[in-house]
């Protein structure tokens, strides 16, 4: 006989874990199913480990620049990747163990360690991840899918013969790559490129198109590229691999070949950062009648409900935001609507995110190109970080700020900051936009000196027509 629960949560990522606890605390007998590591992508192979690496890389970068600040550092600055990894692993372990302990010690929560597959609209089997033996059969009126995404590996001739890396496996290295080649030019690719260049590796990025960060305005993308190039990251544009092969008989090293007359490129390590795909292909969603699109994403409505009543999809798997903070916001939306009489909708969410290169690129709302395409009456202002006293004092003046405002409603349409502490300063815009307040609310606010955000009101003073 299947064991009956009021609710089942599949996956323990940033949306699933707090939702399971909220369900349990509100009287629902709740099952949680986790196939691999507690905490999901963010804790194990995403935000937590990569930002630990960003911190180590920044420490090396600042140490090399010490003389600029009148500080003497004797000898060459080098990085011990094994120690960097050990530090990262300790941080991950604390977070992962904390999530598991939280779930296992919460009343009304039962944790199942195994692989979940649907056997009906409200029924699941849990099997052992390795043997495939059935561990449990479960039923529930409410089921929440939080299974996340994984790296996409392109179909390349010869790929089965080489050793390559994804964002997950690159974090397992204990020795620095001599030459890391990265296929891709978006957020993950750029962060790893700068990190490993600062660690001391030679880094080459293979960019299929003519520029990096194609979702961002060209001026920001160009500035980010210039910063990384100045630090020694090499870029090859219009470069799309056609074949890969091992350099040595033992499988070490990779030779990357291109079409036409392009010269091959040899690398000690190869990283694919070419996108992510939802972990839905092995959930047997068809047994429950749950719809998926051509990418494997589960379509949801504004309240994150799938096409099957009583089943929700939260986090990266629903395609409504691919960030830890959007996953957590999914939890908050579902929780508010289930327990607080709320009518929250993901359709009202203002997308905001950051690219954690150094300096970081942070954005909320619409870009300039998106505003132009909309054809609306708009105002725009830009300001270089050289105008910001705190940036000059820190000796970090790369980048600039940009804001766009609706000329009629006076509401902020979007803002982007590329600059030191821009990932924090962007929240001044996020809060005003969330409140649907006019830009003058922020323009007339008194900010603390000396900070990065104190120049935001000054930025708004410079608004003029978008021509």
The residues annotated with a catalytic role in the active site are 449
Quick check: 457 and 387 in contact, CB under 8 A?
A: no
User: Which DSSP string corresponds to 112-152?
Assistant: EESEEEEEETTEEEEE-TTT--EEEEEEEEEEEE---EEE-
| 109/78 Cα distance (integer angstroms) | 47
Which residues is 400 bridged to in the sheet? Answer: 384, 418
| 289/283 Cα distance (integer angstroms) | 12
Q: In what order do the strands lie in the sheet with 179-183?
A: 234-237, 202-207, 179-183, 269-272
Render the burial of 394-413: b for 16+ CB within 10 Å, e for the rest: bebbbbbbbbbbbeeeebbb
Quick check: 213 and 185 in contact, CB under 8 A?
A: yes
Instruction: From 431, 280, 418, select the one nearest 362 (Cα to Cα).
Output: 418
| 328/143 Cα distance (integer angstroms) | 17
| 41/418 Cα distance (integer angstroms) | 26
| 363/402 Cα distance (integer angstroms) | 9
Question: Is the link from the previous residue into 155 a cis peptide, with omega within 30 of 0?
Answer: no
Instruction: Provide long-range contacts, Cβ within 8 A and 24+ apart, for 170-175.
Output: 170/269, 170/271, 171/45, 171/49, 171/50, 171/53, 171/85, 171/88, 172/85, 173/81, 173/85, 173/269, 174/81, 174/82, 174/85, 175/81, 175/82
| 238/211 Cα distance (integer angstroms) | 9
In the block, residue with structure tokens 């405002």? 405
In the block, residue with structure tokens 């960097």? 84
Terminal alpha carbon distance of the chain: 68
In the block, residue with structure tokens 């099997």? 127
- Give CA separation, 136 vs 2, 115, 147, 383, in Å: 7, 10, 19, 59
């Amino acid at each position: 006989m299947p064991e009956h629960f009021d609710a089942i949560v599949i996956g323990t990522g940033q949306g699933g874990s707090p939702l399971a606890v909220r369900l349990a605390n509100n009287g629902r007998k709740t099952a949680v199913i986790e196939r691999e590591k507690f905490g999901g992508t963010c804790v194990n192979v995403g935000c937590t480990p990569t930002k630990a690496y960003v911190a180590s890389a920044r420490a090396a970068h600042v140490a090399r620049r010490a003389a600029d600040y009148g500080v003497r550092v004797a000898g060459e600055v080098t990085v011990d990747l094994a120690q960097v990894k050990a530090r990262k692993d300790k941080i991950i372990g604390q977070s992962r163990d904390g999530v598991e302990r939280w779930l296992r010690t919460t009343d009304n929560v039962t944790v199942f360690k195994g692989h979940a597959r649907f056997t009906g609209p409200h029924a699941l089997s849990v099997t052992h991840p390795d043997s495939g033996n059935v561990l449990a059969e479960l039923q529930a009126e409410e089921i929440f899918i939080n299974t996340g995404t994984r790296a996409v590996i392109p179909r390349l001739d010869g790929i089965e013969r080489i050793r390559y890396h994804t964002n997950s496996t690159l974090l397992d290295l204990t020795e620095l790559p001599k030459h890391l080649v990265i296929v891709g030019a978006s957020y993950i690719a750029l962060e790893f490129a700068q990190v490993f260049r600062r660690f001391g590796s030679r880094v080459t990025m293979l960019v299929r198109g003519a520029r990096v960060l194609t979702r961002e305005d060209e001026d920001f993308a160009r500035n980010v590229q210039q910063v990384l190039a100045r630090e020694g990251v090499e870029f090859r544009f219009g470069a799309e691999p056609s074949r890969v092969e091992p350099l040595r008989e033992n499988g070490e090293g990779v030779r990357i070949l291109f079409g036409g007359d392009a010269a091959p490129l040899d690398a000690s390590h190869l990283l694919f950062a070419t996108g992510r795909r939802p972990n839905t292909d092995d959930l047997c969603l068809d047994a429950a009648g749950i719809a998926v699109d051509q990418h494997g994403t589960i379509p949801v409505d504004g309240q994150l409900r799938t096409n099957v009543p009583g089943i929700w999809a939260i986090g990266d798997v629903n395609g409504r935001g691919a960030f830890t903070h959007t996953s957590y916001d999914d939890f908050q939306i579902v929780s508010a609507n289930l327990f607080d009489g709320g009518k929250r909708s993901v359709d009202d969410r203002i997308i905001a995110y950051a690219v954690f290169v150094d300096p970081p690129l942070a954005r909320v709302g619409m870009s300039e190109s998106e505003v132009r395409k909309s054809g609306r009456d708009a105002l725009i202002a830009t300001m270089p970080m050289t105008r910001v006293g705190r940036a000059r004092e820190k000796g970090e003046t790369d980048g600039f700020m940009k804001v766009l405002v609706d000329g009629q409603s006076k509401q902020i349409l979007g803002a982007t900051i590329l600059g030191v502490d821009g990932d924090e300063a962007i929240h001044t815009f996020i809060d005003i936009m969330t409140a649907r307040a006019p830009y003058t609310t922020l323009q007339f606010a008194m900010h603390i000196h000396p900070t990065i955000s104190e120049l935001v009101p000054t930025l708004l003073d410079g608004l003029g027509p978008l021509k």
